[in-house]
Structure 1
Amino acid sequence: MAYHVPAPITLGTSLTLHFLVFIATCAKMVGASSGVVEVDLIFPRNETYAPTAYLPIIFAFQNSHLAPFLYPLIHINAQLVQNANGSTPQWAPPESIDLEQLQWANFTNNDTYFAYPTYQRNKFTFATEGIWQVIWTFYWGVCTEDSLANNILMRNESQHTTTLTIRKGAQEVDLVSGTTDKSCSGQDGVAVNITNTLHIPSSAHWEGHTDKWEGQGDMCASTASSVPKSDPCRVSIDPAAAASISCSITYGSSATNFSTTTSSLTCPEDKKSAAGSLTIGGLAALFGVFSYLLH
């Protein structure tokens, strides 16, 4: 009995390249709902700055396309804890602000996403010499199959403190030099290891509350207890990003700020960390190639 052995398929250079891109794209899509999200306060740092009416407080989300699964929120406190002469200042409630709109932020295709309060909403002034503390708390949502079976969403939190000094004659605010080739001694952040995402039932609510999920989509993160050490020094702000952030802080016209005001000024977009995206047409073409190869 004769057996017909199919001749091996020989791919041209172009088809081979498209096929490899297709495989890589599929792998990226499969892994798109897992990975480590890191949140760091990258400015200011544990350093000394000149007095200023406004010191930018900037956070970086690394691997930020996964952040919407966490329903993120950041609460910030800032307070003078020691006068320039070493005495203890008269107690006053710390100024505070929430970056609660992060749950609706446009993290799409951003590897690193910068989040910060704008001038219009920021209550903090660092005009008084002395030692200051910026205390920030990151809150994120998680779920498990068991918790969702009981219609429960859970919240985690992690608090961190950055201590800085305000002194006349010290360095002025410079987001580029202030985050480039600098020591991050004493700085730390939050790393969350997302292993899977789960569908949220419409009846699910936060543990101990009647409030329901109001973030992007209907998927929440299932996480692992083990996470790598955070690395705030890995993120720096380049001149283009600094210009975009400074404009947004001043005029409140960027997608990454949370100002309640509007402005006719359009700030430049920070494209430094935007990940490459595949258009629908490109994806269709790759599926076409794959279909061709199967036939």
Structure 2
Amino acid sequence: MLLRVPLSSLLALFLAILAQAERRLPANLQVDLLFPRNETYAPTQWFPIVLGIQNLDALWPLDIGFNLEVLSMEAWKNNSSGGRADWQHVNLRPNLYGFPVGLELAPVKLFLHYPVMNMTNGTTDSFNLRWGITFVNRCFANNSLDYGGNSWSSGGNSSMRQITFSTAPGGQTPDVAATVDSCPEGGQNSTVVRVNEVRKTWGTGDQCPVFETDVEPARCAYREVAQELAANVSAAILRRMRCEEGTWQNITSPCVPKDKESGATLLTGLQRDSSSWALVLGLALAAYYNVF
């Protein structure tokens, strides 16, 4: 059951906590694309993307943007107009530069973001998953006066990191828990920076972090929560399907709600552009829904 708290109360609580926030620097900000990997998966009705963010609590407040999008290569190839087939170009990112204000929550050590994409209209496809983090300003330790320079992105000149995954009959069953538990190498699935200081830009007073990029990502940070994370992802997908039971990987057609069968009024499910967030407190995961 979801506990509903008035937005004004949540916002007031967030602002109060934010006012008392104190950075603990230096600290590593690590973002991991936990699922999927560069694999071929069996088609499913809905497919999860799982993003983990470590140590945001030690760096907050911090102006940072997160980007996450998925593009169907088949739709791109077959689009005769030469433009994007918009329904296949799915923007799954968290709120940019307002994070985590959109959640009305103060950051903790580990955030997990797991939106889902609708794959009902195709069974065989390749997908280009692009993601990255962005700082609006970047300062450097040897500059006493700094305008902040250009923004910085974890994807370098391309601004986004990229992986490709596929779906096809006979592919492996999507398994979030097994993938997270296996602690695969980071590669294009991980990015980390060490923030040593947060200054203010000269003249404008904007946040301007001083950070290093030559940092090795920590591995296996999510292993202890792999099973619980997978359970939360499963629950979120079943809610999105409006299914009350079953295994999301095996459900290929819409469920008939039991309330509808009995003639009762069915409550509206999640909105079309909603995403699931979980905060890890110890091993406890609490799911929140945020419309962007």
Q: Which residue in 2 is equivalent to 1:271?
A: 281
Is the 8 Å Cα contact of residues 195 and 221 (structure 1) preserved in structure 2? no
Is the aligned partner of 1:163 residue 2:150? no
Q: Is residue 35 of structure 1 aligned with residue 27 of structure 2? A: yes
Return closer, same or farther for 1:60/1:67 CA change in 2, 3 Å cut-off. Answer: farther
Q: Would you say the 8 A contact 2:41–2:168 is kept in 1?
A: yes
The question of whether the paired residues in 1 share the 8 Å contact of 2:112 and 2:278 is answered with no
CA 1:153–1:89: 2 relative to 1, 3 Å: closer
Structure 2 equivalent of residue 222 of structure 1: 209
Match of 2:195 in 1: 194
CA positional deviation for 1:149: 6.4
Q: Structure 1: state its 5+ residue gaps.
A: 1-28, 206-219, 253-258, 275-295
Which of these residues, 102, 110, 113, is aligned with residue 112 of structure 1?
110
Amino acid at match of 1:77: E
Deviation of the 1:116 alpha carbon: 2.9
SS at match of 1:33: coil
Match status 1:132 vs 2:146: no
Aligned-pair identity in percent equals 17
Which whole-Å CA distance do the structure 1 matches of 2:45 and 2:131 have between them?
20
Q: 1:124 to 1:62 in 2, by over 3 A?
A: farther
Q: Is the 8 A contact 1:70 1:141 kept in 2?
A: no
2:128–2:162 contact (8 Å) kept in structure 1? yes
Residue matched to 1:177: 178
TM-score, normalization by structure 1: 0.57
- Answer yes or no: is the 8 Å Cα contact 1:131–1:163 preserved in 2: yes
Q: 2:78 is matched with which residue?
A: 90
Checking the alignment, whether the CA contact within 8 Å between 1:187 and 1:232 is kept in structure 2 is: no
Cα deviation digits, residues 195-241 of structure 1 (max 9, x gap) = 11236899546xxxxxxxxxxxxxx3522334313356543342223
Q: Look up the match of 1:102.
A: 99
Deviation at 1:164? 1.2
Which amino acid is 1:114 matched to? L
Q: CA deviation at 1:249?
A: 5.2
1:68 deviates by: 3.5
1:99–1:116 Cα contact (<8 Å) kept: no
The answer on whether the counterparts of 1:153 and 1:204 sit within 8 Å (CA) in structure 2 is: no
- Inter-partner Cα distance in structure 2 for 1:110 and 1:89: 42
Structure 2 regions of 5+ residues with no counterpart?
Answer: 1-20, 241-269, 285-292
- 1:169 deviates by 2.6
Aligned length: 216
TM-score w.r.t. length of structure 2: 0.57
Higher mean alpha-carbon deviation, 62-71 vs 161-170, is at 62-71
